[in-house]
């Protein structure tokens, strides 16, 4: 499992390096923010690496009522929210994202798309996230296989 986590981290960093080369700051003069949502810490780890590489500001997207529990419980709640057409409420951001030239937006992939908190962010601030890049983490395909086969407990499985 440690090898798989390392491979996923290396893949995320390689994609990040490509994105930075193509969308990075011009001569370090632009104001940059790494803005991310992380359910279990995987996306947070990648965000911190990107922040360190760029020397950018960093902020986590937080929920008023955070997802908690096992992977299955989180996915169950997300499924109910999607079905009801509701979005989770976000805590106010500390950063004024309109002041940034470039925003690197990070999130886990849920149900084949971005996590619900990103939907909330985009619905609240659609005009402020214009210039930037995104990075994602995903692990649920492996988790479903490992938990279904009994090789990994649901408690340890997360994206």
pLDDT one-digit tens code per residue, 102-155: 999 999 988 778 889 998 998 887 665 656 788 888 765 445 444 444 444 444
pLDDT at 12: 53
Give domain 2-156's CATH superfamily. Answer: Flavodoxin domain (3.40.50.360)
Taking only the tens place, the pLDDT of each residue in 62-110 is 999 999 888 788 888 988 998 999 999 999 999 998 888 899 999 998 8
Rounded Cα distance between 72 and 13, Å, is 28
Domain residue ranges of the chain, discontinuous segments joined by +: 2-156
Orientation angle between helical segments 71-84 and 140-148, nearest 10 degrees:
120
Fill in the DSSP letter of residue 23.
H
C-alpha–C-alpha distance, residues 15 and 81, integer Å: 30
Sign of CA dihedral 43, 45, 49, 54: positive
> Model pTM greater than 0.85?
no
3-class DSSP assignment, residue 91: coil
Angle at 149 between CA 141 and CA 106, to 5 degrees: 20
Predicted local confidence at residue 109, as pLDDT: 86
pLDDT higher than 70, residue 22: no
pLDDT of residue 2: 56
H-assigned helices in 24-139:
42-54, 71-84, 116-124
């Amino acid at each position: 499992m440690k090898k798989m986590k390392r491979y996923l981290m290396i893949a995320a960093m390689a994609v990040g390096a490509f994105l930075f080369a193509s969308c990075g700051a011009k001569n370090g003069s632009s104001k940059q923010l790494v803005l991310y949502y992380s359910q279990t810490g995987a996306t947070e780890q990648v965000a911190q690496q990107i922040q360190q590489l760029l020397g950018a500001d960093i902020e986590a997207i937080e929920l008023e009522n955070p997802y908690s529990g096992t992977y299955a419980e989180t996915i169950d709640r997300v499924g109910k929210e999607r079905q009801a057409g509701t979005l989770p409420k976000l805590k106010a951001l500390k950063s004024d994202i309109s002041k940034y030239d470039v925003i690197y937006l990070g999130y886990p992939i849920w149900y084949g798309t971005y996590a619900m908190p990103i939907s909330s962010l985009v619905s609240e601030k659609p005009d402020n996230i214009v210039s930037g890049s995104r990075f994602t983490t995903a692990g649920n395909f492996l988790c479903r296989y490992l938990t279904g086969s009994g090789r990994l407990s649901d408690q340890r499985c997360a994206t």
